[in-house]
Amino acid sequence: MGRLILGIDTSCDDTGVGVVEDAPLRVRANAVRSQLIHQGYGGVVPELASRSHLDHIAAVAQRALDQAGCRFDQFSAVAVTAGPGLLGALLVGLNFAKGLAQGLGLPLLPVHHLQGHLAAGLLEVPHWAPPFLALIVSGGHTHLFDVAEGASGWHYQLLGATLDDAAGEVLDKIARLLGLGFPGGAALARLAEAGDPRAVPLPRPYRGGLDFSFSGLKTAALLAYRAGCRPEDLAAALQARVVEALIKTLRRAAHQTGRSRVVVAGGVAASAALRAALAELPGLEVSLPPPGLNTDNGAMIALAAAGRDAPAPDPTLGCEARAEWGLGDML
Ligand code: KG4
Ligand code: ZN
């Protein structure tokens, strides 16, 4: 049996604890508790998120161990999201991880949240090596990277990002407007199945470079809603426009860089419409996370850490949470 790594993510509103075995690389457990508490507010309330993580993290960790059929003393390392994310929420996971690492005498491996999403997207293509493109689409990010082999590990060059709202954020805001709860990306996708995307003319948010911009689309969707369009048509039109913007920019990036592979990850990578459009991209090999690893979770954090040589345990446990943390900054 390979080494067992515990992975923890509390960067936003999901309390995630996962167990990964590193050789061969596989997910042994992935326990996630999504916080419903934010539904009434239409967005994540940071203070409520931190408290809820605190109330539930121990039980979620126990659930992960039960799923994996292992004990705490069998782990080789504890991996945890150190950022970016909501500071108070990050601190709960980080301190829980520090306590475990200290108590068990294990190394603590701080992981960048986006590296976790990427690791989930790469799980099914262990033979891939850089260079390739990486598109992270979630409620907080719409970031496009070129991943290359650097002198000391992988090098991430940010090619483009959203200038305003993230793709998932737009889906969530319009889903909320339609009374679909929060986060509403998946519910909006279900509603869109019954709609006609051509029935609501929304502008193309495509800009021409490798950046994204979704706020104009959001406003147009709001106006169309107020004008009384059918909710299912609005959902279908919005989804089509978001997918189109992602695909067009991806094609442009592939053309500019000459890359032929792309990994797409983050919560919005669960979108069936996006997956269908990606499958039709000519000349681009695409890798996506398996079910259950698209939205935030702890297993992806352990997966990201599994590729690293475990350092000796740090007795000072000096790692700090970083609410803002560019992926390029750390590698
Ligand atoms: O990665 P994630 O869990 O959290 C962040 O790091 O932000 O992503 C959450 C986002 C939300 O905006 C949610 O609406 C969206 O992913 N999402 C989806 C689907 N499932 C989750 N969007 C479209 N289709 C889905 N099936
Ligand atoms: Zn995320």
How far away, in angstroms, is 199 Cα from ligand 2 center? 32
Q: What pLDDT score was predicted for residue 166? A: 97
**Does pLDDT of 51 surpass 90?**
yes
9 and 94: one domain?
Answer: yes
Buried b (16+ CB within 10 A) or exposed e, 284-323: bebbbbeeebbbbbbbbbbbbbbeeebeeeeeeeebebbe
Whether residue 144 is found in the same domain as residue 282: yes
Planar angle of CA 54, 36, 62, nearest 5 degrees: 45
Q: Which domain holds residue 210?
A: 129-287
Q: Mutation test of ligand 1: which of 169, 171, 182, 246 has the most ligand atoms closer than 8 Å to its C-beta?
A: 171
pLDDT at 329: 58
Helical pair 167-177 and 231-257, crossing angle rounded to 10 deg: 180
Pocket of ligand 1 (CB under 6 A): 12, 138-140, 168, 171-172, 183-186, 189, 266-268, 270-271, 295-296
* Rounded average pLDDT over 152-163: 93
Same domain, 240 and 314: no
Residues 208 and 261 in one domain: yes
Distance 226 CA to ligand 2 centre (A): 31
% of the chain exceeding 90 in pLDDT:
88
Is 236 in the same domain as 158?
yes
Q: Are 267 and 297 in contact (CB under 8 A)?
A: no
Condensed to tens digits (0 to 9), the pLDDT of residues 177-210 reads: 999 998 999 999 999 999 999 999 999 986 789 9
Say whether both 316 and 272 belong to one domain.
no
Q: Is residue 123 part of a domain?
A: no
Tokens of 49: 């998120």
User: Could you tell me if 138 and 50 lie in one domain?
Assistant: no
Residues 6+ apart with CB under 8 A from 51: none
CATH number at residue 154: 3.30.420.40
What is the Å distance from ligand 1's center to 139 Cα?
A: 6
CA distance 189 to 326: 30
Q: How far, in Å, from the CA of 141 to the mean position of ligand 2?
A: 8
- 26 within domain boundaries: yes
Looking at residue 1, its pLDDT comes to: 77
- Domain contains 124: no
Q: What predicted TM-score, i.e. pTM, was given to this entire model?
A: 0.96
Q: What is the pLDDT of residue 326?
A: 87
pLDDT digits (tens, 9 = 90+) for 64-112: 999 999 999 999 999 999 999 999 999 999 999 999 999 999 999 999 9
Ligand nearest to the CA of 142: 1
The one-letter amino acid at 14: D
The stretch 258-268 carries a mean pLDDT of 98
Say if 33 falls within a structural domain: yes
Residues, CB within 5 angstroms of ligand 2 (ion)? 138, 296
- Best of 138, 218, 239, 274 for a ligand 1 pocket test (most atoms within 8 Å of beta carbon): 138
Ligand 1 midpoint to CA 266 (Å): 7
Say if residue 90 is in the same domain as residue 153. no
What local confidence, expressed as pLDDT, does residue 330 receive? 47
Ligand 2 centre to CA of 183 (Å) is 13
Distance between CA atoms of 102 and 95, rounded to whole angstroms? 10
